[in-house]
Amino acid sequence: MLKKRVLSGLVGVALALLIIFEGGIVYFLTVFIITLLGLEEYRRLSIRGNYYFPRYLSFAAAGVYLLLLYFEVPNVLEAAPLFLFLPFCLYIFFNKDYSFRDLMFSAWGVIYIVWLFSFLIVLRNLPNGLNHTLLLFFSIWISDTAAFFIGSNLGRRKLIPRISPNKSVEGALGGLLGTMLFVYLLRGYVNMEPITAILAGGLISLLGQVGDLMESALKRYLKTKDSGALIPGHGGVLDRFDSVIFAAPFFYFYLIFLSNHI
């Protein structure tokens, strides 16, 4: 199992790097497909909680929004939560079997998955987007790796056991400090001052860990171990990208706020 996990992880990292370097339509289509796969995983999870999730409506909303983003329609990113929420509000008027409970669960899932994934597109499209996108992914990998090894060897205090019983306070701090150091050492590649780089590393690690816990809370609520089985040894799309997509919007806005660094 460990061997399969490591091998598929290495293949996944290599593919991710190739696609990030390629950029353009290849990168966009990859994010587009992964987003739809994430929605399909969420639909299957919804069945476990006895929620009705309209597959084709969610796919259509995601597809239209991502295409508008690709063609750089003004302000579409900022309007996305409302844009993605509205179709489900209208759907409840015309489907008597679609309840308010279903509305909240499905609309939240589409915003959570589609809107957060879309920041991988706008981040890559920044003037220094290649380096910033690479920094985001490497930082998440460093954070996860440092948290795992430090937590495995030094972990004593449970972080939030009711959500993720294997995570420790020591592991979380290890991931945080390791990522801050990593970004600090690479600050020259992304044109950041030392304090800006340290804060960026802390932000990415912290929000990445929150994203991981968020998905763990969702799976625990729905009483399932993995969101899917697409990636051998790693689960599904949501299992693999939960940290990245949660950190991406905060990192993007952090860069926009510090506009001299983009």
Please provide the average confidence, as pLDDT, over all residues in the chain: 90
Q: Give me the pLDDT at residue 52, please.
A: 92
Q: What is the pLDDT of residues 127-175, one digit of tens each?
A: 899 999 999 999 999 999 999 999 999 988 999 998 988 899 999 999 9
Q: Give me the pLDDT at residue 249, please.
A: 96
Q: What is the pLDDT of residues 224-235, one digit of tens each?
A: 876 665 665 557
Which of 78-92, 116-130, 172-186 has the lowest average pLDDT?
78-92
Q: Give the rounded percent of residues in the chain with a pLDDT score beyond 70.
A: 92
Residue 161 is classified by DSSP as: T
Is there a contact between 128 and 148 (Cβ–Cβ < 8 Å)? Answer: no
pLDDT bucket at 32, cuts 50 / 70 / 90: very high
Cβ-in-10-Å burial (0-12, 13-18, 19+) of 93 comes to exposed
Is there a contact between 190 and 197 (Cβ–Cβ < 8 Å)? Answer: yes
Q: Give me the pLDDT at residue 217, please.
A: 92
Residue 115 is classified by DSSP as: I
Is residue 2 pLDDT above 60, yes or no? Answer: no
Is there a contact between 175 and 205 (Cβ–Cβ < 8 Å)? Answer: yes
Contacts of 23 (CB under 8 A, 6+ apart): 124, 129, 130
Q: Give me the pLDDT at residue 1, please.
A: 52
pLDDT bucket at 261, cuts 50 / 70 / 90: low
Higher pLDDT, 10 or 143: 143
Cβ-in-10-Å burial (0-12, 13-18, 19+) of 27 comes to buried
Q: Give me the pLDDT at residue 259, please.
A: 64
Is there a contact between 188 and 177 (Cβ–Cβ < 8 Å)? Answer: no
Query: For 226, phi and psi rounded to 5 degrees?
Result: -125, 155
